[in-house]
Structures are given as structure tokens and as C-alpha cells.
Amino acid sequence: MNETDAAFVRRALEQADLSALRMALFQATHDPEIAAMVPEPKTVRGGAGVTYQLSEKYRKALLEKGVEFLTNGFENFESRVPDDREVRTLMEMAGDPLDDAEFRARREIPAFDPFPWAAKWSGKRPTLPEDFLVVIVGAGFGGIGMGVQLENLGIPYVIFERRAEVGGVWSINTYPDARVDTPSAVYEYSFEKSYPWTEYFAQQREVREYIEYIADKYGVCKNLRLSTEVKGARFDQATSRWRMEVVGVDGVKQAVTADFVISASGLFASPKQLEVEGIDDFRGGIVHTTAWSGDQDVTGKDVAIIGNGSTGIQLLGQIAEKARKVRVFQRTPQWISPREQYGAPVSDEVRWLMKHVPYYWNWSRYSGALSTMNLYGLLIPDRDWQAAGGIFSKQNDAVRGFLRDYIKDQVDNRPDLVARLTPDYPPFARRMIVDNGWYRALLRDNVELVTDPIARLIPTGIETSVGSQYHVDMVVTATGFSVEKYVWPADYVGLGGVHLQDRWAEDGVKAYMGMMVPDFPNFFIMYGPNSQNTSGGGAGLPTQIEIWSKYIASVIIATIENDCTAVQVEREAFENFNKRLDTVAQGTIWLVDESSSGRNYYVSRGRLLVNQPWPHNEWHNMITRPNFDDLNMATHSNPVARARCPIDEPTVRSVGLS
């Protein structure tokens, strides 16, 4: 190594996450002196999570160990995939002792295996009928992740995407400062190692490019049919296949027959448009954030931003830099939190560490995930704590105190703003929003916070319920999405001619494990009702997607390997699952707290809709091991009779559950 290289390595080590560096170096060298550098727990964001950090007193010694390792022929070092026992020992070295359930839930976060969530055939891949086909609807993170899973298994599939490019929400949402608000280190698939993100929280364009890169690298592109919309599908009982209606480029209709259909059509696919009196009389422009195209010029204009969820918060700063005046219309104040490294670039040196230092990427991923491991205490009220004068729970109240102080600090303690910006419900009752400088932007001379309800649009602007009128040239509606419209507007017709949307309109929008609905054999939903895990576990949405895709692929494999052609969830299992879910949900922050219930998109018509309500370990256990007792497999001629295939139970149970 020459001098310049050595200087670069030293600079890189100076910038390393010390905990991750310690774990990587220990795993590579087993140096007992490194093991003796014990990290300490540190709460983050007022108690929202705990990380384990290495004291600065070890910095110098650790860096010297790093220099020694990296300047002595480490290029020839061969990384190994550690077994369970080694991973567990290492994880305990990185933090606290883990019980079995906790270890299982964390096992794949450092992602040592090439494909941590790969489903597997129990033996050799069986020969499939020549026209066998799985259809995936949508090419966002869900559809592409599912495609990678099927590609690896050698199962024929096609992905229909109605847009002209892949990316889903990351192709659609191009509004100013659109970016992830969960760190890119966890907002990525675990099978793609050391992706060279340029920012810790990647911007929209980079995330879209990432999905394109994955689709290309993992062989999914050849099976993509862009500008092609699935209008609907009908299950044909006689053949156990779905007859699909698909409209391709130039509106050409195609009939497609599929053995399995997987809807990965997204939770945020149906924008909620502004509905307010006078909208037709308004002479200015109205643009929903999903329709932002870059053609909108706000320079010198009077702009109104309606909605202060994650999107409305992100776009204020950049719009305010150009507009003459921006008025932020706020209905409900949100809890908005700072995040370390938000907006910060990843230096060349850190990217080098990720790519070249054995195990560093794995441990920085784990280290980043640690702070979001145990969030359940934030979601469940503590009655004893409340009886002693607390508001919700010790952990939740601590975060609340931290965020209240943060608001005061950010708005220079201006009493008019502090009062209107501080929510009266506990943090985490709604999606926690990340601050990209929103509070500071409110202090600008050309920005005004309006909290009086909007009464109507008038030709020249907006009138509030107290009669104030504001001149507006352009309304930006950051009003979010109709999340209850799962798989909409595609029309899926199951056994007995039942339409999925009708079933849901009657019985409520429900699924088993978020994925399956009785009478809809061979049909799965990704990111379906109650599938989002917000109770911790450190896994970002792409990892949740990988887990769903493994579950779905495991069920498809089991069906094929048992010579069956149809699989669906038993009605009783579906009912029991949802009964249990609703009971647990009643005790969570989303429903138990009157001040928050019904005021967020997680809840619809009084029922928890988007999230799963269990502690993450329990959920992880359910979602990573299909319970085949709950599923009904049938032969092609008689899926309705619910006759189980003549299958040998142990074979079924062993399939794809590694």
C-alpha cells in the first residue's frame, strides 16, 4: 500500500462507525483486545431506541488495529458466512444477551447470507407445465423483490407495471426534496451488499435508480412488461387458474392465464384528492404531490401547502426558497423528529469501508438497525405509569418530552408557534415524521402557519372558517393516499363469483397474514391489510418485502411439490387470525388512545388497517413460517370442496421453511 492509500485508509477509519468497525475487525481477526472494548447502551431521540456505542476512549486503539489489518494484505482475506452460533455470539458482543426469539428475529439483519430470505425447493426443482406462469402486479420494491425470489427459484413469472418505468412510489413521487425518511442502510434489500448510496437518506431519484439496478442485476428486467395494466382477473375453478384481463401499450387488451397472481400494487397507489367547497371556482393551479412533474414553477408565487404528513413536511423548504409567500395549512399537528445524518452525504471514504472492509457493511447495517429494535414499549400504554401521573408509558413520555423540547428549540421558543405545533396525542400514534428543516422553514419571513380550518376555495385563494382570506396562485395538496383501496382498481373475482372489493366492502378490509383471503385461491397481496411492522425489529420495508416474498414463494413451492394446483387460506383460520389481531390491536396506541384513534391512516373505520399489532418477535415468528394447517391445498378439479390433497404432512411442513 502506498502512502496516499495509507492516508486514505486512515481517513476512512476516522469516519467509521466505531461499533461496526469493532465488530467487523473482531469477526475478521478474533483479537481478544478488540473483544474487551465493550460498547455501552445509549438512548436515542429521548428514548425512542437504544444503540450500543463504543466509548471514544477506545477510538485510538481501535483505529490502530484497523490500520494494521487494512495495511497488511487484507485484500487476500476471504469472508465467510458465519453459522447461527457465531452470529449469536457476535450479536451479543455488539449489545445485550438475546433470548431465542429475539435472536431469530435479528438473525438476518446483518445479512451475511447471499440471499437471507430465499425460499428453497425441498429437493430438485420439479418440472413445471410448459405454460406455468406467476403474474406479479406492480414493479415497485414489492414486485421487483418478488421477481428476484421467483427468478432464483426458476419459477416462470411476468411483472405487469402500468407505468412506463419501475420504481412504484419512487417513480411517482418527484416532488421537491422527496427522499427516504428511514436510513438507506435499512431501506434496501438484504441480498444486495454494499450498495454505494451517496446519502444516508437517499433522494427519490437515487432510490428509483437503485430499483432499476436491482431489476437489471438480478435478471428481472426480461420479465417486465411496462405500460401494461392489470384490469382484473377471474379464478377459473375448473383449471385452478386465473384468467386475467391486461391492457398493454396503446390500449391493446390481452388475455393472460396465470397459475398464481401476486398483487404488489402498493399501499400508496391511490392519491387522496382535495375535496373542498369552491374547488371548481378556484382560478389558480392545484397539484397533488403525486402529480408533481417538475414543470410547476413556484417562483414568485403565493403557494398554499395543504397537508403536513411526511410529504408536506419534506417539500416546504425547497418551495419556500422560490415562492413569494407560502402558507402551510395545518389541520392536526404532527410529531416530527430529527434523525442523525438526515441530508448528509456518504463520503468516498465511508463507501470504501462498506465495500472493502470485510463485514463492515454487515455490522453498520446492524448498528443502524439497533435503534429501532424494541419499539413496542412506545405503543402499549402502561396503566401503572398512568396511575402515577404519567401520560402513556415511560418510554413514550420520554420521547414526548424530547420532541416538545425539540419544537421549542427549533422555533426559537415562539409561544404562538409552540402552542400550535405541539400535538395533544402521544408520539407514534401516527407515523413519526422526520424533520428536514421544516420547523426552521416556518420561521422564514415568507412562510406562515395557518391553523384555522379551511372553509372553502374562493376564485383567488383560500377562505378559512374564521373568514380570513388568503391569496393563492397554487395549491399543493399533500393530502396523502386512500390506503384502504388495496389492489384497487383491479377487479379480482374469486370462487363463487365474489369480487374482492365487494367482500371487503361487506366484511371490512382484511387478509390473513396481510396476504391471503378465503375464496381467492392462488392469490397473494404484498403490503396488504395489517402487514406493516412498526413495532420494531430493525427491518426496513424492503426487508419486510423480502419476508413476504419468501412466505409467498414457500406456499407456491409447497403447492407444487404436493402435486396440488390450488391453495387458499381456510376460512376458520382467516377468522381466528383476524379476531386475535383485532383483540391485540385494541390495546395498542392506535386504538386505545382516544386522542389519536381514527386520526391517522393506520386506522380505518375504527379498525387497525395498516399495521400488525403484535410485538415484533411474535410477528416475525408468524410471518417467517407459513402454518400449513391454516392453508387448504386442493387438486385442480375440486378446489371448492376443500378436500386436502392426499399429502404427507411432514413433507409439507418441511418445504421452504429453512
Ligand X SMILES: Cc1cc2nc3c(=O)[nH]c(=O)nc-3n(C[C@H](O)[C@H](O)[C@H](O)COP(=O)(O)OP(=O)(O)OC[C@H]3O[C@@H](n4cnc5c(N)ncnc54)[C@H](O)[C@@H]3O)c2cc1C
Is residue 315 at the binding interface for ligand X, with CB under 6 A as the rule?
Answer: no
Provide, rounded to whole angstroms, the least separation between the CB of residue 160 and ligand X: 5
Listing DSSP states for 598-632 in one string gives TSSTTEETTEE-SB--S-HHHHHHHHHS--GGGEE
The DSSP bridge pattern shows strands 260-263 and 631-634 to be unpaired
| Cell numbers linked to 464 | 378559512
Does residue 600 belong to the site contacting ligand X (CB under 6 A)?
no
Q: What angle do CA 176, 178, 182 make, to 5 degrees?
A: 155
262 binds ligand X (CB under 6 A): no
Task: Kindly indicate which of the ranges 115-123, 168-176, 516-524, 619-627 contains the residues binding ligand X, using the contact rule CB under 6 A.
Answer: 168-176
Using the minimum distance from each CB to ligand X, give the nearer residue, 343 or 390: 343
Q: For residue 140, how far is the Cα from the chain centroid?
A: 12
User: Helices (DSSP H) in 478-586: which residue ranges?
Assistant: 500-507, 541-561, 571-586
369 is a contact residue toward ligand X (CB under 6 A):
no
d(CA 415, CA 433): 22
Among the candidate windows 173-181, 295-303, 493-501, 550-558, which touches ligand X by CB under 6 A? 173-181
For residues 547 and 633, is the Cβ–Cβ distance under 8 A? Answer: no
Question: Nearer Cβ to ligand X, position 231 or 580?
Answer: 231
Residue numbers 283-312 binding ligand X by CB under 6 A: 311
CB of 436 to ligand X, least distance (A): 12
Nearer to ligand X, 52 or 492 (CB): 492
Count of residues binding ligand X (CB under 6 A)? 33
Interface residue with ligand X, options 142, 309, 368, 528 (CB under 6 A): 142
The smaller minimum CB distance to ligand X, of residues 136 and 608, is found at: 136
212 contacts ligand X (rule: CB under 6 A): no
The C-alpha cell at 24 is 467487523
Cβ proximity to ligand X, 141 vs 235, nearer residue:
141
Residue type, 437: G
Assess 540 for contact with ligand X (CB under 6 A): yes
Nearer to ligand X, 536 or 639 (CB): 536
Distances in Å between the alpha carbon of 574 and those of 235, 578, 608, 630?
20, 6, 16, 8
Q: Does 342 bind ligand X (CB under 6 A)?
A: no
Q: Judged by CB under 6 A, which of 95, 140, 427, 538 binds ligand X? A: 140
Beta strands per DSSP E along 331-400: 336-337
User: Strands 253-258 and 49-53: what pairing?
Assistant: unpaired
Choices 76-84, 266-274, 380-388, 457-465 (CB under 6 A): range interacting with ligand X: 266-274
Q: What 8-state DSSP symbol labels residue 435?
A: P
Residues 230-259 that bind ligand X (CB under 6 A): 230
Q: Is 180 in the site for ligand X (CB under 6 A)?
A: yes
Q: Out of 19, 265, 308, 479, point to the residue binding ligand X (CB under 6 A).
A: 265
Smallest CA-to-CA distance from 584 within 551, 618, 630 is with 618
**Distance in angstroms (rounded) separating the CA atoms of residues 642 and 47:** 50
- Cβ distance to ligand X smaller for residue 160 or 628: 160
Alpha-carbon separation of residue 321 from 232, 300, 449 (angstroms): 45, 10, 16
Q: What is the distance in angstroms between the CA of the first residue and the CA of the last residue of the chain?
A: 43
Kindly indicate which of the ranges 167-175, 399-407, 554-562, 631-639 contains the residues binding ligand X, using the contact rule CB under 6 A: 167-175
CA-closest candidate to residue 447, choices 308, 339, 337, 336: 308
Interface with ligand X, residue 406, by CB under 6 A? no
Q: Which of 215, 432, 541, 573 binds ligand X (CB under 6 A)?
A: 541
Where along the sequence are the contacts to ligand X (CB under 6 A)?
Answer: 137-143, 160-163, 168-169, 173, 178, 180-182, 187, 229-230, 264-269, 311, 490, 526-527, 540-541
